[in-house]
Amino acid sequence: MTRNPRKKPSSGKSGTKAGKTRKTTAKKEEDFRTAFLKSLQEKREELKETIERLVSSRKEYNGQLTAGDFIDEVDDAQREISAYSHYSLIERKNKELRKVELLIKRIQNEEEFGICEECGARIPKERLLIVPEATLCVSCQRELEKFDSSRLRASKQVATFAPQKAMQWEGADTQEDDDNLRIKYQIDSLPDAELEETEPDELPDEKTDS
């Protein structure tokens, strides 16, 4: 009686499961790309509208100033501060818009995206959907914010320390001048008799032999 050799288990089922898993993963990735691209396009339109509104309001404000009455120095300084803040905001929005447009091109060209520029880790999809223009993961973003906060505090400390140091030096000079004036006053107030006593006695004339 001959025994039938054992048949090796077929790998068809496992291969089918692996294929289904890959298809599911690819489908999820494609769905995320579609949702992310839509989010980016909405963000782009929002930024364009914001920039257009800021530029329009700035032109209207400048027109009111031109047609207005005489502007004193205080109003002129406030106008310069307002203009600087306005232009800074417009520049920041333009920078965000450039980031969004770059991401849109990368997705349309099926390039890799969502990688942290600092550590190279993949940025969570949830974060990308909320902040489409994000280029840092949460950890690196927090570290950057801490660094910026520390640098801001340091610059404020330097700005407040410099005037205090100048005041201390000015105070030292004033104190030294006061001391010199006090000494001069004391010397000037001395009577002439005391000054004469401080002079060395004159030596007697030597007698010459006759």
CATH number at residue 46: 1.20.120.910
Number of domains in the chain: 2
More confident residue, 34 or 157: 34
- Top-confidence residue, 140 or 188: 140
Same domain, 83 and 142: no
* pLDDT reported for residue 25: 77
Share of the chain above pLDDT 90, in %: 18
Whether 175 maps to a domain, the answer reads yes
Is 60 exceeded by the pLDDT of residue 184? Answer: no
Better-scored residue on pLDDT, 171 or 104: 104
Clarify whether residues 102 and 168 are in a common domain. no
Quick check: 10 pLDDT over 90? no
* Residue-wise pLDDT tens digits, 142-162: 999 998 888 888 877 766 655
Q: Pick 16 or 4 by higher pLDDT.
A: 16
pTM for the whole structure: 0.51
Same domain, 70 and 131: yes
Residue 52, pLDDT above cutoff 90: yes
Average pLDDT, the chain: 73
Q: Per-residue pLDDT for 121 more than 60?
A: yes
Q: How far apart are the first and last CA of the chain?
A: 172
Q: Are residues 31 and 61 in the same domain?
A: yes
Claim to verify: residue 89 and residue 146 sit in the same structural domain? no
Of 14-18, 94-98, 105-109, 204-208, where does mean pLDDT reach its minimum?
Answer: 204-208
Q: What is the pLDDT of residue 119?
A: 93
